[in-house]
């Protein structure tokens, strides 16, 4: 919605992965996106989600904080589903959202201002391993496409400083870039758990990545670390998502979304 002053927006977050949501059919130019996502001179966000409700299904377009346009965003998709649900009903809502990675079926549970969203994310595709030379060593990543690309390692020996050195190189090692996930299997839980640190292309370290959690679970199933069809808790710095991968590699993601505040982007 626009006015003489500017464009209405809502700020949402999913496990600390935060977004500006606006109802516009096309993204802002990259410079304006970078300004609005700036945490000191703008609203502050990991990206902007543009929602167009003019078609048969509402459409989500994602732009990263650097102005680039990824194919998908799992945490963003949950936020958009909850954003749309507030305009449709006060109860549970089922809807389909069009994205650059195809249509995604969503179920939104809402009660007392709280939102929990389940999303059918489609099928994961295991692609060729990625080898990256950084810090004088060769690092090998499993690569998984879940509508956007991910490079994944289950080597638990990486320290925080290792990640900050290696992740930028891995993220730019293929045309168009890739998200990078550093994972550790956690034993002794009531159900499988994987701890994950995420480096998102176009953003850097983030508190969470929904598609990354999906890709990690798919890679774990492929490597027989967990069983297909078995729910797994993917624990990210911002919180935990429940991911289930079936034998056809179809993925269901379930997790929260939260509205933070509303405002207006001033015309510039």
Please give the positions annotated as active site. Answer: 73, 209
**What distance in Å separates the CA atoms of residue 98 and residue 190, rounded to the nearest whole number?**
36
| Local structure of residue 231 (DSSP, 8 states) | -
Q: What is the DSSP string of 155-211?
A: -TT--HHHHHHHHHHHHTSSTT--EEEEEEEE-S-SS-EEEEEEEETTTEEES--HH
Question: Strand 17-22 vs strand 193-200: parallel, antiparallel, or unpaired?
Answer: unpaired
Residue 7 exposed, middle or buried by CB count within 10 Å (0-12, 13-18, 19+): middle
Which structure tokens are listed for 253? 């993601």
**What distance in Å separates the CA atoms of residue 225 and residue 219, rounded to the nearest whole number?**
9
Q: 182 to each of 142, 178, 179, how far by Cα in Å?
A: 11, 13, 10
């Amino acid at each position: 919605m626009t006015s003489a002053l500017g464009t209405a927006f809502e700020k949402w977050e999913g496990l600390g992965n935060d977004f500006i949501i606006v109802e516009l059919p096309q993204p802002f130019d990259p410079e304006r996106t970078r300004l609005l996502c700036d945490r000191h001179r703008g609203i502050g966000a990991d990206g902007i989600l543009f929602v167009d409700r003019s078609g048969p299904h509402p459409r989500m377009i994602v732009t990263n904080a650097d102005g680039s346009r990824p194919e998908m965003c799992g945490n963003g998709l949950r936020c958009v589903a909850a954003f749309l649900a507030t305009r449709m009903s006060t109860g549970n809502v089922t809807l389909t959202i069009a994205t650059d990675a195809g249509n995604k079926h969503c179920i939104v549970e809402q009660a007392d201002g709280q939102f929990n969203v389940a999303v059918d994310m489609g099928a994961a595709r295991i692609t060729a391993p990625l080898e990256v030379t950084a810090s004088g060593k060769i690092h090998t990543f499993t690569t998984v496409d879940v509508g956007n690309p991910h490079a994944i390692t289950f080597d638990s020996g990486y320290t925080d400083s290792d990640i900050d050195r290696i992740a930028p190189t891995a993220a730019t090692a293929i045309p168009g870039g890739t998200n990078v996930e550093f994972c550790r299997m956690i034993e002794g839980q009531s159900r499988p758990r994987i701890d994950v640190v995420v480096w998102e292309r176009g953003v850097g370290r983030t508190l969470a990545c929904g598609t990354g959690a999906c890709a990690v679970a798919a890679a774990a199933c492929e490597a027989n670390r967990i069983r297909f069809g078995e729910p797994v808790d993917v624990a990210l710095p911002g919180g935990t998502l429940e991911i289930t991968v079936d034998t056809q590699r179809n993925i269901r993601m379930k997790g929260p979304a939260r509205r933070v505040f509303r405002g207006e982007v001033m015309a510039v």
